[in-house]
Amino acid sequence: MRFLLISICLLLVSCASYPKKQHFQLDNSVSKSIENPYFSDETKDYVYKASIDVYDKHFGGLLIIKKINEQEHRVVFTTEMGNKLFDFTFTENHFQVNYILDELNRKMLINVLKNDFKVLVSDNLQVINTFSEANTNVFETSIYNKNHYYYFENKQLTQVVRTKNGKVKVQFLFSEINNHLADQIDIKHHNIKLDITLQSITQ
């Protein structure tokens, strides 16, 4: 019986929501929608030198992101020498693979990439809850039915955290920010050994 109690207690603790664990204060007086400005300018060609470390392998290439119109983004990955590895189209409710190299055409990989890049290109999000802590505002949103927390420090988006059952799954870090352009973006996966580092070479 005592065991049962302990395990129920443990269960309750481990199931506590992410904001509760982080001791965030609920504060729903602020905005109902937020913007991610980093890939939102239709006049810009966003080009990043990408480094991908997956398990013990290291890959490089160029990640190219373009906002085509209000509803659509293109995301293309090429090798440094220009060979196209994949080409995706994202719209509000639709995702399309325009091209993918046969060797990379794996459903699991495409899903990981789809989920990650959707976060980069989602530039307007509905807020579910708002929390605050010192000079940071944290906004709870949902992308593909997964909880995402957007951190704005001094009104600048610095981090997005995807969680599941109150645990951090993926972290997106934006740094070296100038004029709505994040020169450095780090995507860190906590459940699989996959890190993506992006360094802007936008011309």
Helix (H, G, I), strand (E, B) or coil at 13: helix
User: Considering only residues 135, 145, 178, 203, which one is a binding residue for another protein as defined by CB under 8 A?
Assistant: 203
Kindly tell me which of 66 and 189 has the beta carbon lying closer to another protein.
66
What's the burial of 11, exposed, middle or buried (CB within 10 Å: 0-12/13-18/19+)?
A: exposed
Closest CA to 174 of 165, 166, 183: 183
Decide if residue 45 touches another protein (CB under 8 A).
Answer: yes
Query: In the stretch 139-158, what mask flags binding to another protein with x, by CB under 8 A?
Result: --------------------
**Which position among 62, 63, 119, 157 is part of the footprint of another protein (CB under 8 A)?**
62
Asked if 43 is part of the footprint of another protein (rule: CB under 8 A), the reply reads yes
Name residue 64's beta-bridge partners. Answer: 47, 76
Residue 130: partners with Cβ closer than 8 Å, 6 or more residues away: 26, 27, 28, 29, 30, 31, 137, 138, 139, 140
Residues 100-139 that bind another protein (CB under 8 A): 101-102
Going by C-alpha positions, the residue among 128, 133, 132, 130 that lies closest to residue 147 is 128
Q: Does 80 bind another protein (CB under 8 A)?
A: yes
What are the residues binding another protein (CB under 8 A)?
43-45, 47, 49, 51, 58, 60, 62, 64, 66, 68, 74, 76, 78, 80-84, 87, 98-99, 101-102, 199, 201, 203
